[in-house]
Amino acid sequence: MNKKEIKRILVVAESIDVEDSSGTKGRVALIKNLHKAGFELQVFHYTRNDIDLPGIPCFHIKENRGSFLFFLSRLERYIRYWLKINPNKYIENLFGFSFTLFNDRNSIAAGLKKIRGFEPDLVLTLSKGGSFRPHHALLKFPKWHPKWMAYIHDPYPMHSYPRPYDYVEPGHQKKRKFFLSVAAKAKYAAYPSKLLAEWMRSYYGGLKGKTVIIPHQIDEDEMKLPALPEFFQKGAFTIVHAGALMGARNPKGLISAYKKFLKEVPEAIPESQLIFLGAKSGYTREFEEIKKEIPQFYSSVDYLPFKQVQAIQKNAAVNVILEAKGPISPFLPGKFPHCIAAEKPILLLGPYYSESRRLLGEDYPWWSEINEVEKIFMIIKRLYQKWKSDENQLDYNYSELKYYLSAEYLSSQFSEL
């Protein structure tokens, strides 16, 4: 199969609402860049509300609210809400998945059966989080398996995550059995990260020989960004972290380094900020105390709209990518293309072996392990000095990475299939 043969792509997406997760932002950017690369697309999506993408035929798959599975899913929800009992653990231990997922899978499959007059050359399934609902649905369509590209954005199931993540989901063996089926049936396995591809092949032999690397995309469509919020100090040396802070993504090393920076470089006190953008986390209470101690510290109480975050990242002095402390981070963070597009220095805090570090290069100057306070302090200090001398000086060329995350490179990847 070559590029000339791949003209029509059926995209089955769990969501195309960029406000619901960083994962969806990445999937939508991929869809838009496939369209920009010249492919004829039809997008069938299971977003909870009807959303369209400009110039791309989008079809909203509705939830089947009249099925017995839907009734069981709502019964489970009411038991959890009214009786404060969570039966889902027992349901998933028995069946592998929740009643909600089974109903969603069947709803997506029913929607795909209505396709008329469009014969795809490739079927691309895009999901988010740990659900892989479109992949569940595609297993029901053997006719498409020889054309199926299963996009795998994270390790699956959760017990396949590298340390320090150590959560074992209920029904994990049945979840693994499901993914063994995906690995066996799909023609291609697409990943945003080379390290993730290697990681998943170590768990699923059926994925060998099917790898396609499709990194998260830069969406270069022009859009009017909103005004900066009041908490953002214009013209200041502003360090910004945008995104969820799961427990393993510990920000304490960065915060300690910033405190040391203010102490050692007092002239930065009136002209610097450290900002965390995202929903509440296990660190929220601690953040509230830090705000009282350091006026230069700010954390949002909830997610901000996507465009608002983009405006902040583009105006930041430094954007932060914060990863878990562990032997390896095979993930390509969803914020990575946004940070590259912002063309500002990236403070990368993560393991020696990480996809972000692999892409930025082993000699990338602004990298540290997340708990190396002294090294992080020295990086912040150097970045501040560079900012003082020339606010627009990047001192690192992102041009190759911008191409790697572009529609042009995406088209070249498909031409090699």
User: Tens digit of pLDDT for each residue in 199-235?
Assistant: 999 999 999 999 999 999 998 775 678 889 999 999 9
- Given a cut of 60, is residue 392 above it in pLDDT? no
CB 328: neighbour CB atoms within 10 A?
Answer: 18
Would you state the pLDDT for residue 129?
Answer: 86
Would you state the pLDDT for residue 417?
Answer: 85
Would you state the pLDDT for residue 2?
Answer: 45
When pLDDT is averaged across residues 246-258 and rounded to a whole number, the result is 93
Would you state the pLDDT for residue 391?
Answer: 56
Task: Provide the greatest CA pair distance for the chain.
Answer: 67
Q: Which amino acid is at 228?
A: L
Would you state the pLDDT for residue 190?
Answer: 97
CB 385: neighbour CB atoms within 10 A?
Answer: 12
Strand pairing class (297-299; 122-126): unpaired
Would you state the pLDDT for residue 22?
Answer: 85
Q: Which amino acid is at 315?
A: N
- Given a cut of 50, is residue 277 above it in pLDDT? yes
53: DSSP letter = B
For the chain, the average pLDDT equals: 93
- Given a cut of 80, is residue 331 above it in pLDDT? yes
Q: 9 vs 114, 144, 148, 415, CA distance in Å?
A: 16, 12, 10, 14
Place 3 in a pLDDT band, splitting at 50, 70 and 90: very low
Q: Which residues have C-beta within 8 Å of that of residue 149, sequence separation ≥ 6? A: 122, 123, 124, 125, 186, 187, 188, 189, 190, 212
Q: Which amino acid is at 364?
A: Y
pLDDT digits (tens, 9 = 90+) for 149-204: 999 999 999 999 999 998 899 999 999 999 999 999 999 999 999 999 999 999 99
Beta strands in 33-143 (DSSP E): 40-45, 58-60, 122-126
Is domain 237-401 in CATH 3.40.50.2000, yes or no?
Answer: yes
Q: Which residues have C-beta within 8 Å of that of residue 45, sequence separation ≥ 6? A: 11, 12, 13, 14, 15, 16, 51, 58, 59, 60, 61
Would you state the pLDDT for residue 86?
Answer: 87
Least confident range from 23-32, 60-69, 79-88, 135-144: namely 79-88
Could you please state the CATH topology (level 3) that the domain comprising 8-214 is classified under: Rossmann fold (3.40.50)
Q: Where are the alpha helices (DSSP H) in 84-171?
A: 88-95, 99-112, 133-138
Residues forming CATH 3.40.50.2000 domain(s) in the chain: 8-214, 237-401
Distance CA(185)–CA(59), nearest Å, equals 25
**Exposed, middle or buried: residue 13 (CB in 10 Å: 0-12, 13-18, 19+)?**
buried
Q: 206 vs 179, 193, 211, CA distance in Å?
A: 10, 18, 11
What pTM did the predictor assign? Answer: 0.93
pLDDT digits (tens, 9 = 90+) for 278-289: 988 899 999 999
When pLDDT is averaged across residues 48-53 and rounded to a whole number, the result is 90
- Given a cut of 50, is residue 78 above it in pLDDT? yes
Q: Which residues have C-beta within 8 Å of that of residue 316, sequence separation ≥ 6? A: 238, 239, 240, 275, 342, 344
Contact 46, 15 (CB under 8 A): yes
Place of tokens 């809400």: 81
Place 312 in a pLDDT band, splitting at 50, 70 and 90: very high
Distance CA(154)–CA(17), nearest Å, equals 19
Would you state the pLDDT for residue 223?
Answer: 64
When pLDDT is averaged across residues 295-324 and rounded to a whole number, the result is 94
The secondary structure of 213-280 as a DSSP string is E-PPPP-----PPPPPPTTS-TTSEEEEEES---TTS--HHHHHHHHHHHHH-GGGGGGEEEEEESS-
Distance CA(199)–CA(329), nearest Å, equals 10
